[in-house]
Amino acid sequence: MLQTIDPKYQLPSRKHFATVALPNLYNKTRATVAEQMQNVVYYSTTTDLWSSRTTHPYLSLTVHFIDGEWALRGMCLQTSYFPDDHTGEVIAQGLQDSLASWKLREDRLVCMTTDSGSNMIKALRLTEWPNLQCFGHRLHNAIMNGMKDPRIDRAIGVCKKVVSTFSFSWKKRRDMAVVQAELGLPSHNLITESLTRWGSRQLMVERLLEQEKAIAQVLGADKKSRHLVPTWQDIDVLESINKAVSPLKEFTDALSGEAYVSVSYLKPVIHLLSNSLLQPEEGETELTKQIKSNILNYLNNKYNDPVTQELLDMASLMDPRFRTTYIADDQVDGIKKRAVTELMSLSTEKSKSQPGTSVQDLHQEEAAEPVTKKKKTLASFFKNKTPTVSSTSLSEQDKIEAELSSYLLSSETDPETDPLQWWKLHEANFPRLSYLAKKYLSIPATSAPSERVFSTGGNIVTCQRACLKPEAVDRLVFLAKNL
C-alpha cells in the first residue's frame, strides 16, 4: 500500500529504530521524567533484584510521589545491569549511584520499600535510608513459617503430586473435564504452587479442595494413579490450612496497588489480623489454631521494631480515615511531637534559604489580589466586634500545633473516602500538615512496583529476543513503564 501511495518512500530499517528512533524517544522521555522530578519535595522508592531469561542480573528502581494535584504518581527510573556480587555494600553503592544519576537528594527520600533479603536490609542500613520491608513478602514468610508441621508437609506433598499428575497428562485433564460436568463442578484447572508467588500455596490447596470429588474419581479409575488419591487425613489437614489462611489472601493484592495510598493501611490490617481474623474460633481444629498463632506471632515480632512502628504511625496519622485510631495510646503524644518537629525543621530549612518564609509558603504562593475599598454601610457600625488573636502574634510552632489540633478534631471521614481527594479538598485548611501527608502517604506498602517492572522485562527479554543488550533492555523497560 505504501508503494501505491508513494513509490519513493523508503520504510525505515530495523537498524534505524534500534540506533536512532528508540534512543531519541528514550532521551526525550527521560528528560520529561527528570523535569517532573525536579518539582518533587519528598519521594519514596522501591527496589529489587531480578535475573532475566538470559540469567543477566538487573537492579530495578521505581519512584513514587504525590504531585500538586494530589495524584499518586509512580515511575520506573531504571532497570540497570548489575553483574557485581549482590552483597549489601555493592547494592548500597548501586542504589546511591542510581539516585545520583537522577539528581535525587538522599535527604528527601522518605522510605525505600524492599523485600526481606539480608543483602537488601544491609544495603539500606549502610546508606542509613529509612526502610520498610514489603508487607507481601512478610505475610508470605509468616504463612510459610506458620505451616512448619510434619502433617502439613505430608499433605502438601500429596497435593503437589496430584497437581503434577494432571499437569503432565492430557488424558487425565480430559477425564477431569468430563467428571466436572457430571458432578456440576466448575471447569477449573488445578493450580501449581510457586515458591516465589505470594499466596500460591493457599490457591493450590483451595482449588484441590474444590475439585476433591472429581480428582478422587479420575485418579481412582486408574490403578496406576489410585495411590495418589488424598486420604481423609490429608483432606482434614488441607481444610485446616485453608480455614486458617484463606482470609489473608486478599490483603496482599489490596496492598500492592500503585494508584492509591497503601502504607496507611498497614496498621489497621495488622490490628484486624491480631484482633479478629487470626484469633481462634469455636469449632476450629487444633491445627488451624496453631497455624493462626504461628502467623500472628511472626507478624507481631517483625513489626515490633520501634523505627518501623513510628513510620507506620506517621502514615496512619496523616490518613484522615484513621488519624490516631490505630496508634497506641502511650505513643500518640510522641507522634504528635514528631509531626511538629518535622514541620518546624522544614520551616527552619526554608527560612535559611529564603528569609522571611514559613512552612506554609512552601505549600503555595498566594497571588496578591487588588484590594477594593468599599463604602461602609450604616449597619456596619452596629455589628458586634469579636476579639480575635492576630496570627502574627503566634509563633510558627504555635501555628503548627493549632493546625494539628484542628485536624485531629475535625469531623470523622468515611472509610471509603480517598485520602488524597480529602487532602485536595482540605489543603487550604491544613497547609502545613499537607506537606507531611504528601511525604508519608507516598510510601508503597509492598515492593510490587519493582516486581511489575520485572514482569515487563520478562515480556521484553523473550526467547526470540534473548540477545538484547542490557542497555537496550533498560531503555525498553523504561519506555514501556513511562510512556
Relative orientation angle of helices 433-440 and 419-426, to the nearest 10 degrees: 160
Please state whether 61 falls in left (phi above 0), alpha (psi between -120 and 50) or beta. beta
**Predicted confidence (pLDDT) per residue in 216-258, tens digit:** 999 999 999 999 999 999 999 999 999 999 888 888 788 888 8
**CA–CA separation, 96 vs 100, rounded Å?**
6
Q: What is the pLDDT of residue 57?
A: 92
Q: Give the residues of the chain that fall short of pLDDT 50.
A: 364-373, 376-390
CATH of domain 37-133+448-482: 3.30.420
Q: What is the pLDDT of residue 389?
A: 42
Q: Alpha helix locations (H) across 226-285?
A: 232-245, 249-254, 266-272
Q: Spell out the domain ranges in the chain.
A: 37-133+448-482, 141-304
Report the Cα 66 to chain-centroid distance in Å: 14
Q: What is the pLDDT of residue 134?
A: 92
**Predicted confidence (pLDDT) per residue in 176-197, tens digit:** 999 999 999 999 999 998 877 7
Any bridge partners for residue 133, and if so which?
114
Could you tell me the three cell numbers for 119? 543483602
